């Protein structure tokens, strides 16, 4: 198997499993442990490091990781809002990137982790051949109850159910206004992909391996008609995000690949098949129907290859 798989990524999106599964309980296992959930994240990262060592010992050609990253913006200029955004950025982005890339936790977070943390970090920070970035949207963060946070929630209430956090957490993830939203209610913001790629390069310099955008895509309200799905919104989304990757490359980021999430409609965490991300529609009878975006991406890829 090692000679047939081009690249291994042992753990996908540890931040999502940690925050949504163990901290706020939206996903399995449905725990609401707040900051104590970071211990689960530490063990996910340790599992990544142990798997990386095992794969290399087995002769794997290349090993990477895939983290879900988001650019974090403060909802207002108040010191409390800025501090809340910085804390969220640390928990969502830095706490999962820096153990892998730097062999350390940011801001002393390792002091509260279980086990022999220094020894674990030596395993977690095994050198990688690639760094995967899963990107969907930016995140707007403010201090709970402050005017800018309250105003943002009032301006875009449709997102509140998706982004609410438990009481007692010192930040509030609030709705972000956008010209367009996915069926999930997420803002379409391709410029955020450029931002996060450049941010990773600026933060980690030569410690950052070549980057692959390992997930990028959107859910849309798909309807099969005329033997296909006319998903113009997905085509528009992918076109804009490919341009965002090109902008990051122009800014000097070493991006080697872009992977669309996903080829097929997938069972999407707690939402099942109610949120459809695929280039190919999967029906209740398991029938596969290629969408318009499937043909568009095929033709776009051929154009990119022919242009070099």
Q: Which of the residues are catalytic?
A: 13, 215
Instruction: Enumerate residues 6+ apart whose C-beta is below 8 A from 284.
Output: none
Instruction: Enumerate residues 6+ apart whose C-beta is below 8 A from 246.
Output: none
Q: State which H helix or E strand residue 66 sits in.
A: strand 64-68
Burial 163-190 (b: 16+ CB within 10 A, else e): bebeeebebbbbbbeeeebbbbbbbbbb
DSSP code of residue 2: T
Q: Are strands 130-134 and 64-68 parallel, antiparallel or unpaired?
A: parallel
Tokens describing residue 301: 């890829």
Instruction: Enumerate residues 6+ apart whose C-beta is below 8 A from 146.
Output: 76, 78, 80, 81
Instruction: Give the start-end residues of each E strand in 69-210.
Output: 72-74, 130-134, 139-142, 172-174
Q: What share of the chain is helix, strand, coil (3-state, %, to 5)?
A: 45, 15, 35
Instruction: Enumerate residues 6+ apart whose C-beta is below 8 A from 116.
Output: none
Name which of 107, 119, 129 is nearest 46 in CA terms.
119
Query: For the chain, how big is the Rg over CA atoms in Å?
Result: 20
């Amino acid at each position: 198997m090692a000679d047939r798989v081009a690249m291994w990524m042992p753990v996908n999106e540890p931040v999502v499993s940690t925050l949504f599964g163990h901290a706020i309980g939206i996903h399995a296992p449905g725990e609401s442990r707040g900051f104590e959930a970071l211990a689960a994240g530490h063990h996910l990262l340790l599992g990544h490091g142990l798997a990386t060592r095992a794969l290399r010992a087995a002769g794997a050609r290349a090993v990477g990781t895939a983290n879900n990253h988001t650019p974090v913006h403060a909802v207002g200029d108040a010191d409390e809002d800025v501090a809340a955004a910085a804390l969220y950025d640390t928990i969502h982005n830095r706490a999962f990137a820096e153990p892998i890339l730097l062999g350390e936790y940011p801001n002393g977070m390792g002091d509260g982790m279980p086990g022999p943390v220094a020894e674990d970090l030596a395993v977690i920070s095994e050198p990688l051949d690639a760094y995967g970035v899963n990107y969907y949207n930016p995140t707007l963060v403010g201090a709970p109850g402050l005017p800018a946070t309250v105003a943002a929630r009032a301006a875009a209430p449709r997102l509140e159910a998706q982004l609410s956090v438990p009481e007692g957490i010192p930040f509030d993830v609030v709705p972000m206004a956008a010209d367009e939203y996915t069926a999930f209610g997420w803002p379409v913001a391709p410029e955020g992909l450029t931002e996060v790629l450049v941010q990773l390069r600026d933060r980690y310099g030569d410690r950052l391996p070549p980057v692959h955008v390992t997930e990028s895509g959107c859910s849309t309200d798909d309807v099969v008609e005329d033997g296909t799905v006319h998903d113009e919104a997905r085509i528009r989304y992918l076109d804009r995000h490919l341009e965002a990757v090109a902008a990051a490359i122009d800014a000097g980021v070493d991006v080697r690949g872009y992977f669309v999430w996903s080829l097929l409609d997938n069972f999407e965490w707690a939402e099942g098949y109610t949120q459809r991300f695929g280039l190919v529609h999967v029906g209740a009878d398991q029938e596969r129907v290629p969408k318009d975006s499937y043909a568009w991406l095929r033709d776009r890829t051929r154009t990119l290859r022919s242009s070099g």
